[in-house]
Structure 1
Amino acid sequence: MRGFAHRAVLVTGGTGGLGQGVVPVLLSQGYTLTIPYIDAAAREALEKQLAAAELANVRFVAADLNNESEVAALVERMPQLDAVVHLVGGFSMGATAQFALSDWQQSFRLNVETTFLVCKHALKRMQSQQYGRIVTIGSRGAVEPAAELAAYCAAKAAVVAFTRAIAAETKGKNITANVILPSIIDTPANRAAMGEAQAVNWVSPVAIGELIAYLISEGAAAISGAVIPIYGNA
């Protein structure tokens, strides 16, 4: 990175199962992180996972990412913002004929609305400084939809389209936007829900973190609008 000038990253969902793998990777590579949260217990669990030296480079901020005023304040109060890693999202499933409208709307609130609000306000900062990196999280289901996952797959497909639209808008401005498509992620929640028999084939949060670390680096300046699968052996 040029003189280590660009180091400050907003990591949403950093206290979640994926975040617990991604955050240590980014810290190991010298990034300073701002992590919004709504669950104090999840924040405390991440704090216990990190070493004191790592925590010195982490700033936690209570924020509801579906509340635009809170998102705007979160971004505005960051002393520096060079990259956004948007890990927030939510999984839902059910047969379409029985799927409640409220559940459909909640899937889009978690996966699409938060992505829009975070990226909208981050872009204002990035465009003024003519530098920025954005990485969002889609899903394999966005390009390979499956039965009883209509809401989730549709929401993640929207994240893909939205991210690629940002890439088109920021072309030539030293701002990149890319989206990662994981298969099943090897998190404690997924092991609890699906068992551990096939976990060896799932993609690890650390592997996703390493990919993210590259995409937000200055060395990845030529990559924008990419839709990147990371499936492991699933």
Structure 2
Amino acid sequence: MAARTIVITGAFGALGRAVAEAAAVSGARLALIDHAADGPAPEGALKLGGVDLTDAEQAGAAIDAAADRLSGIDALINIAGGFAWETVGGGSSETWYGLYRLNVLTATNASRAAIPHLKRSAGGRIVNVGANAALKVAMGMGAYAASKAGVHALTQSLAEELKGDRVTVNAVLPSIIDTPANRKDMPDADPALWVAPADLAAVMLFLASPEARAVTGALIPVTGRV
């Protein structure tokens, strides 16, 4: 990964931090985009905070700024997103709209903006975060699972669109990620069964690497022992 430029959205969250740290250790140049104004980052990383990726213009400006400051983009890792547990019968259409915007639209806007830059790379990569919950949906997960299924479809569609341009597009499908928020929400669960952010980051960085040139359109479960 040395000398490759990687843009990470949702970079100040638990998974984003893990991916950024692992990428920095591998020698990658980093641009970190997040809706939060500021957050932790490896030394030397370009931080672009306060970006609403549901807004196509803001997404485009942030991606173009990253490409300009770092002389191009080799990989885009779309981590920005959200979650809500809500039954359909007792829920709201606003939850469905909101999760679509947070999960599908953010990845779409960032990817669309990055495509011209990725096409100029010797091996462009897009890595999305889907969800294993979209394959086997539990009660209360309808809106979330539907939005992540949209990410899966986006991934496969983009893979077909870009396969002639040496740009691969793949997604990881985690189960429960071991984050402070999940531990708080599920105090009686055993987090040893969950997916460690560092382990998920390793899979994502492989997909963002030159070695993953033969993999595109893949939806890869990373489920730990859940």
- Please classify the TM superposition score into its range, dividing by the shorter chain length: over 0.9
- Who is 2:9 aligned against? 12
Q: Retained in 2: the 8 A contact 1:90–1:107? A: yes
Within 5 Å, give how 1:71-220 maps onto structure 2: 71-77=59-65, 78=67, 79-129=71-121, 131-195=123-187, 197-220=189-212
The runs of 5 or more residues in structure 2 that have no matched partner are: none
Q: Retained in 1: the 8 A contact 2:123–2:210? A: no
- Who is 1:25 aligned against? 22
Q: How far apart, CA to CA, are the structure 2 residues paired with 1:96 and 1:196? A: 26
Give TM-score scaled by structure 2 length.
0.93
Deviation string, structure 1 residues 4-31 (Cα, Å, up to 9, x no partner): 55x1011001101211222111111111
Compared CA separation, residues 130 and 23, structure 1 to 2 (3 A)? closer
Q: How far apart, CA to CA, are the structure 2 residues paired with 1:102 and 1:133? A: 32
Q: Retained in 1: the 8 A contact 2:194–2:223? A: yes
Q: How far apart, CA to CA, are the structure 2 residues paired with 1:97 and 1:150? A: 11
Which of these residues, 225, 228, 231, is aligned with residue 220 of structure 2?
A: 228
Q: Retained in 2: the 8 A contact 1:17–1:189? A: no
Residue type matched to 1:210 in 2?
A
Structure 1 stretches of at least 4 aligned residues deviating more than 6 Å after TM superposition: none
- Between stretches 88-97 and 193-202, larger displacement belongs to 193-202
Q: Retained in 1: the 8 A contact 2:72–2:117? A: no
Q: Retained in 1: the 8 A contact 2:176–2:223? A: yes
Residue type matched to 1:37 in 2?
D
The runs of 5 or more residues in structure 1 that have no matched partner are: 48-53
The secondary structure found in structure 2 opposite 1:229 is: strand
Q: How far apart, CA to CA, are the structure 2 residues paired with 1:123 and 1:85? A: 12
The secondary structure found in structure 2 opposite 1:147 is: coil
Residue type matched to 1:102 in 2?
E
Compared CA separation, residues 219 and 200, structure 1 to 2 (3 A)? same
The secondary structure found in structure 2 opposite 1:170 is: helix
Deviation string, structure 1 residues 200-226 (Cα, Å, up to 9, x no partner): 100000001111111111111000001
Q: How far apart, CA to CA, are the structure 1 residues paired with 2:90 and 2:191? A: 30
The secondary structure found in structure 1 opposite 2:113 is: helix
> What's the CA shift for 1:124?
2.1
> What's the CA shift for 1:129?
4.4
Q: How far apart, CA to CA, are the structure 1 residues paired with 2:118 and 2:23? A: 20
The secondary structure found in structure 2 opposite 1:9 is: strand
The secondary structure found in structure 2 opposite 1:172 is: helix
Which of these residues, 39, 48, 54, is aligned with residue 61 of structure 1?
A: 48
Residue type matched to 1:28 in 2?
V
Q: Percent identity?
A: 33
Q: How far apart, CA to CA, are the structure 1 residues paired with 2:156 and 2:188? A: 34
- Who is 1:35 aligned against? 32
How many residue pairs get aligned? The number is: 221
Q: What do you get for the CA RMSD once the two structures are aligned?
A: 1.4
Give TM-score scaled by structure 1 length.
0.90
Q: How far apart, CA to CA, are the structure 2 residues paired with 1:162 and 1:35? A: 22
